[in-house]
Amino acid sequence: MPDMTNNDNRSSLKPLIIGAALVAVVVIQFNSIASLRKEVASLRGQIESTASKPKRSKSGTVLNSSREPSTTTIVTADTGDLESRLLAVEENMTSLNKNARHLMDRGQVPPDAEQAEIWKARFLEGTTLNRAMFETLRRLRTNDLFDDSMAAHAATLLSQSTNNGVTRALLDSLRGAKNPALKPAMLALAAESTEGSVRYRAVYNLREFLAEDPSVEQALWKIASEDKSGEVRRRAEESLRRVPLTDERQTTLAARVTNTGLSFDERWSALRVLGYSKGADLSGVAASLVQSVNSASDDETKLAYIRAFDDVNHDDFMLPLVNSVQDSNPEVRLRAADALVDYKDKDPAVMEWLRMLAKDDPDERVRKEAMRAFQRQQQRRRR
C-alpha cells in the first residue's frame, strides 16, 4: 500500500517550495538591480574623473592644446572601454527594470507607488467586472491597498450586478473585507437574493461586521430561522457563533431558547448557537427544555425536541431520551436511539437500554440504530 501520509505531506509542501523559489528569484532580481546601479554610478564617476584629468605626452609633460605640435603623439586614457561597459550595464538595468515591472503588474512582487496607482485607477474606472478586474481586485487586497473608496465602488457593483455568477465571484473576492461601505449591499443580498449560493456567500461575508453592529446579528437570526435553504441557515448559525459569549449575550440566547412564543426553529437555532459556544452554561436552558418535552403530546413536537437534544448534548437530556425510546411510535424511538448513542459513555444505564433496543425492538430500523453503539467504527449517522 502506498504511503498516503508522505504523499499528502509532499503535496502540501509544493506550494511552499514554489513560493520560496519565487521569493528567491525576486530577491536576486532586485539585488541585481541594486548592484547594477552601483556599477553605473562607479563607471560614470570613472569617466568623469578621466575626462577632467590633463593630457600628457609620452615624456609625461603636460600638453597645452594651443602649443601642441602636429607631429606630437598624444597618449590619453581610453574612455571608450568605460563607456561601452556603462552602456552595457545601463541596458541590463533597463531589462531588469522591465522584468521587475512585469512581476509587479502580475502581483508577484509588492508594487511601487506608481504601480499601486495604476491598479487603483484600473479598478475604480471599471464598470463591468471581468477576469482582469477580478485579478486587479485580488492584487489590491493582497497588498492592503483596498480602501474605502474602492469598497464603495465594489458595493455599487454588487448592487447593480444582474449576473449571479459575477456576484458570487465578487463576494468571494471580498471575503474577509471589513470596510463599512460593503455592509448594506451584503445585507441586501443575504436577505433578498433569489439565488441561494449568493445568499450563502453574503451571509459568510457579513460575519466580519457582527461584533460591531447589532443590526447584522438581528438579520442573521432572521436568516437562520427563516431562509428556505438549509445550507444558508446553517451558514448564518455558524456566523452567529463567532460573536463573543458575554454574560449579557448568554442571557439573551437562553431567553430566546426558552421563549415558547417563538417558533421551534428559532428556539432550536438559538440552542445550537449557545450550545456550541465555549464556556456556555446550559443548565437552566436544559431544565426548561426537558420540562417542555415531558409535556409534549404530539409526535411532531417530540421529534423536534429529540433533534435538539441530538445536536446539543447535555446530561439533563439523557432521561427524556431514555423515555422516548420507550414510545409507542417507532419513528420517535428511532430518532431517540440515534441521539442516545452519543450518551453511551456517560452512564452504564444508557448502554443497557441500547442493548435492549438492539435485541428486542420490534422495528428493524431501531434495532440497527441501537447496534451502532456496539460497533468499533461507527457508521455514518442518519439525521
Q: DSSP string spanning 294-342? A: HT--SHHHHHHHHHHHHHS--GGGHHHHHHHTT-S-HHHHHHHHHHHGG
CA dihedral of 38, 44, 49, 54, whole degrees rounded to 10: 160
pLDDT(314) > 90:
no
Does the pLDDT of residue 70 top 50, yes or no?
no
Mean local confidence (pLDDT), 338-363: 88
At residue 304, the pLDDT reads 82
**Of residues 141, 152, 148, 145, the one with CA closest to residue 116:** 145
Look at 81 and 116; give whichever has higher pLDDT.
116
Q: Does residue 279 surpass a pLDDT of 80?
A: no
Say whether pLDDT at 192 is over 90: yes
- What number is the average pLDDT over the span 208-215? 86
Confidence of residue 219 (pLDDT cuts 50, 70, 90): very high
Q: How confident is the model at residue 276 (pLDDT cuts 50, 70, 90)?
A: confident
Q: What is the pLDDT of residue 373?
A: 81
Confidence grade of residue 67 (pLDDT, cut at 50, 70, 90): very low
The three three-digit cell numbers of residue 299, written as one number? 409526535
Q: For the chain, give the mean pLDDT.
A: 76
Can you tell me the distance from the alpha carbon of 46 to that of 53, in angstroms, rounded to the nearest whole number? 11
- Separation CA 343–CA 351 (nearest Å): 9
Residues linked to residue 381 through DSSP beta bridges, in sequence order: none
The 10 Å Cβ neighbour count of residue 370 is 26
Q: Between these two residues, 352 and 79, which has the higher pLDDT value?
A: 352
Burial of 317 (0-12, 13-18, 19+ CB in 10 A): buried
pLDDT-derived band of residue 73, with 50, 70 and 90 as boundaries? Answer: very low
Rounded distance between C-alpha atoms, residue 324 and residue 337, angstroms? 8
Grade residue 51 by pLDDT with cuts at 50, 70 and 90. Answer: low
Pairing of strands 74-75, 56-57: antiparallel
Q: What is the pLDDT of residue 35?
A: 64
pLDDT at position 97 over 80: no
Contact 325, 286 (CB under 8 A): no
Which position has the higher pLDDT, 44 or 290? 290
Q: What are phi and psi of 56, to 5 degrees?
A: -130, 155
Tell me which DSSP letter residue 87 carries. Answer: H
End-to-end CA distance of the chain: 34
Report the alpha-carbon distance of residue 80 to residue 240 in Å, rounded. 74
Whether the CB-CB separation of 283 and 316 falls below 8 Å is answered with yes
- Identify the pLDDT of residue 205: 93
Q: Over 80: is that where the pLDDT of 136 sits?
A: yes
Which has more pLDDT, 276 or 357? 357
- Dist CA 251 CA 258 (whole Å): 11
202, 190 contact by CB (below 8 A): yes
Distance CA 277, CA 275 (A): 6
Check: CB of residue 193 under 8 Å from CB of residue 205.
no
Q: What angle do CA 122, 128, 133 make, to 5 degrees?
A: 40
Q: What is the DSSP code (8-state) at residue 381?
A: P
Residue 116: name the closest of 90, 142, 89 by CA. Answer: 142
> Which pLDDT belongs to residue 74?
38
**254 contacts 283 by C-beta, under 8 angstroms:** no
Give residue 106's pLDDT: 54
Would you give the DSSP letter of residue 181? G
User: What dihedral angle (degrees, nearest 10) is formed by the CA atoms of 169, 173, 177, 183?
Assistant: -20
Q: Are 244 and 279 in contact (CB under 8 A)?
A: no
Reply yes or no on whether the pLDDT at 123 is more than 60: yes
One-letter amino acid of 99: N
- Position 238 pLDDT exceeds 90: no
Q: What is the pLDDT averaged over residues 123-136?
A: 78
Average pLDDT over residues 231-254: 86
Q: Would you call 193 helix, strand, or coil by DSSP?
A: coil
pLDDT of residue 156: 92
Which H or E element spans position 281? none
3-class SS of residue 166: helix
Q: Which residues contact 75 (CB under 8 A, 6 or more apart)?
A: 56, 57, 58
And the C-alpha cell for 89? 550595464
What pLDDT does 47 receive? Answer: 59
Query: Would you state the pLDDT for residue 104?
Result: 52
pLDDT value of position 4: 44
For residue 217, pLDDT over 70 is answered with yes
